Each structure stands twice: as structure tokens, then as C-alpha cells.
Amino acid sequence: MTQLNPAQFQEIKVRYAELIVDNMDEDSLVKFAEDVIKRNLDRRTESELMEEIEANFDSIILESLLDDVKNVRHLKLIRPNKPPQSVS
């Protein structure tokens, strides 16, 4: 097997990532982006997330999102690696 130096290893990862992306359709790219973003957001506390939303958008968007999720009647609590359960 070929032995790569660290720079070559980094470069093959970049090129492989580009190849994967080039072969994805738009729906797959959107789904992938959403999955990565959600995984990153799972690391945030509630207050960190609220601050990030407000910083990246504004308080009006934050309030709108909060109103939307508070008014949903049948949200399910989804925990990583556990089946969904209803929240009352």
C-alpha cells in the first residue's frame, strides 16, 4: 500500500471529498448539509443556540422560531441513538 506524507494525505482527503460532492445530486447535498449542521448544533446548549440564531439572523427570526416550536402540539423528543418518544 502507498505511504503518503501528511500533506499528501490531506490533499487526497480534499480531492476525495470533492469527488463525493461532485457525484451528489442537489437533494443529497441539502440532506447532507442539514445532517452535518444538526450534528454540530447537538453540541450547543440552549442558550448557546439562542445566541447563535440571534447573531446569525436577528431577534425577530429567533422569536419566530421560538413561537413556531412552542405552538407545535406533538413534538417528539429525539435523543441520539435512542428511539423517539412523545413529549407532553
30-51: per-residue pLDDT in tens? 999 999 999 999 999 999 999 9
Assigned domain for 1 exists: no
Q: Please provide the average confidence, as pLDDT, over all residues in the chain.
A: 89
Neighbours of 44 (CB within 10 A): 13
Report which of residues 73 and 70 the model is more confident about: 70
Residue position matching grid coordinates 427570526: 61
Does the pLDDT value for residue 3 go beyond 90?
Answer: yes
Q: Are residue 35 and residue 20 in the same domain, yes or no?
A: yes
Which of the pair, 35 or 85, is modelled with greater confidence? 35
Is the model's pLDDT at 84 over the cut of 70? Answer: no
Residue 74 is part of which domain span? Answer: 44-88
Same-domain check for residues 14 and 26? yes
Whether the predicted pLDDT of 22 surpasses 80: yes
Clarify whether residues 51 and 80 are in a common domain: yes
